[in-house]
Chains A and B, each alone.
Chain A
């Protein structure tokens, strides 16, 4: 709201609006914090006390679910209103669990316990931190009302009939002073209300978040990408095994057989033997070709010899579409990253050649030292566009491959083109 203001007036207006909205929100929060927390806290305590009697076992999961809903609602507001992220980290409860198990699993969950601890904090400190910004917005209006004539209700002008803050209101003059104080409070509020509202959410976060929410999220991502990596490498090994078994290995067997026959024939039938020698030589050449293709698929030799930049240049030279490569890479990157990046670029280029109908492709590779090192790759083509991740286009495979390295893939491909695929992989250069 206060961004892009083309005049100071505009910006000030935006600030007032923001503060007013934040103040109203704070009032809502103060009411909700007080009422919701007290009700839920009482219910929780009663329900847990009733656990030894049996009733609590049935009611506690319900109550705790409500508490969680209340906390989740607050998490949502924290992000929307103040940009404060409070990641939830509840442990999953098995679907078919009986009430007994449910009850004790929930009570054993640190995240649920933090919810319960948060309720008393929310009804006290949380209430105060929400009330303060609300008061800063609404209290000044009482001052204005007093100055405008409301003071007459409390006093006839001969004695102090009302206190506005620290101002004793005893007549028009002091009522005007109250109005001035209200104005000062309002101005102060415009600057501080959004900040105070944020303080309320930060307080909630300090109790609700253990710091494990982000960790848990990270663990989930790691588990997923590790499984993908293991799956991919197992499939690769299987493919290599099959290629060797059906290809080079079979040819070597055939060659050995031919050589045995040649040995037997060399004196009896030299002409036939010579024919077999030629055949054996052909087999060995074919075996070599197959091995070479296989090696290129495992780890391209240029990559080992020259690094990523030249490997991509060599790759570009093999494409049927004119491809410009611009590489700015200081030194060599880690071998696994180089390989992942190479195969990712290779897949994206193959995609572009097959589907885009482009007449030209540009590949840009560069490494920046910021954020502990980041490899950025952009592949752009002037084709028809319409590329998406996960339409069997091979791009989702690239995304998974990069995921192992915490890399990300983004595709911009409007219908009609151009298509731009960007990849970012965190890595250091040596």
Chain B
């Protein structure tokens, strides 16, 4: 699997390259600025891009803008955005086109190599990887004013949270140490209580949940 990596801090770039190579990714390019990223994404056509939000030369949200532009040019281009801070504002912009293949994680998440690599693979496969902090903020807001969430059991809320992060039923079952069938039951309950259409497609399901959580804002 070919990766384009954009990160301006040498230490982090180097570390990410080593980690990705250790998990059998091929580094197509490891760049350190916005213009280089744009060029690499257009010319190398990678399977997935791992991008830092803040990049030179402007040191603003250049990485995010490049990634969004590349996705406009090539819809569905898998992009995992990394940042020192997460903002719902950015998450919403990444999810806006509704095509999936996006990830938005705190840089801290690279501490857990396996989970991080899992997220990269999920995004590359057209799935979603949203940072737990983004999901928690969304849930906190919706619990504040929306009644439907109040009807969920604590367990169902837990499942909803993991699902919104983009995890598959199997992964959720693994984390909560229950069977996949139990998770499937929880999911259909959740969808029924929230009034959402049940879908077998994992990715569509996640996007529906995220859209639900973000609505009315």
Contact = CB atoms under 8 A, between A and B. Distances in A.
A310 B60 CA distance: 12
**3 nearest A-B pairs in the assembled complex, by CB-CB distance:** A305-B61, A317-B88, A314-B89
A239 interface: no
A162 to B, nearest CB: 88
Given A292-B85, A310-B89, A317-B217, 15 more contacts: A285-B108, A285-B111, A288-B107, A296-B85, A301-B83, A301-B85, A302-B89, A305-B53, A305-B60, A314-B87, A317-B87, A317-B89, A318-B137, A320-B144, A322-B216
Contacts of A238: none
**Interface range on chain A (Cβ under 8 Å from partner):** 20 to 34
A97 B162 CA distance: 77
B85 A313 contact: no
B85 A295 contact: yes
B133 to A, nearest CB: 10
**Residue among A289, A296, A305, A320 having the largest count of chain B Cβ atoms under 10 Å:** A305
B85 to A, nearest CB: 5
A46 interface: no
A382 to B, nearest CB: 14
Contacts of B216: 322
A190 B61 CA distance: 67
B33 to A, nearest CB: 15
Nearest to B107: A288
Contacts of A317: 87-89, 137, 141, 217
A304 interface: yes
Nearest to A313: B89
**Residue among B87, B137, B144 having the largest count of chain A Cβ atoms under 10 Å:** B87
Contacts of B83: 301
6 contacts: A295-B84, A305-B54, A313-B89, A314-B87, A320-B141, A321-B144
B24 interface: no
A366 to B, nearest CB: 20
A322 B53 contact: no
Contacts of B111: 281, 284-285
A285 B106 CA distance: 11
A304 B59 contact: yes
Interface string A295-332: 11000011011100010011001101110000000000
**Interface range on chain B (Cβ under 8 Å from partner):** 20 to 34
Contact of A314 (B53, B88, B140): B88
B35 to A, nearest CB: 17
Given A302-B87, A314-B89, A317-B87, A288 B60 contact: no
Contacts of A296: 85
Contacts of B141: 317, 320
A292 B137 contact: no
Interface in A211-253: none
Contacts of B200: none
Nearest to A291: B84
A332 to B, nearest CB: 10
B201 interface: no
A306 B137 contact: no
Contacts of A305: 53-54, 60-61
Interface in B47-69: 53-54, 59-61
Contacts of A285: 108, 111
B145 interface: yes
A317 B140 CA distance: 11
Contacts of A321: 144
B27 to A, nearest CB: 25
A301 B217 CA distance: 22
Contacts of B137: 317-318
**Residue among A289, A304, A317, A318 having the largest count of chain B Cβ atoms under 10 Å:** A317
A320 B144 CA distance: 6
Interface string B88-132: 110000000000000000011001000000000000000000000
A395 B141 CA distance: 26
B63 to A, nearest CB: 10
A292 B87 contact: no
A296 B86 CA distance: 11
B60 A304 contact: yes
Nearest to A332: B60
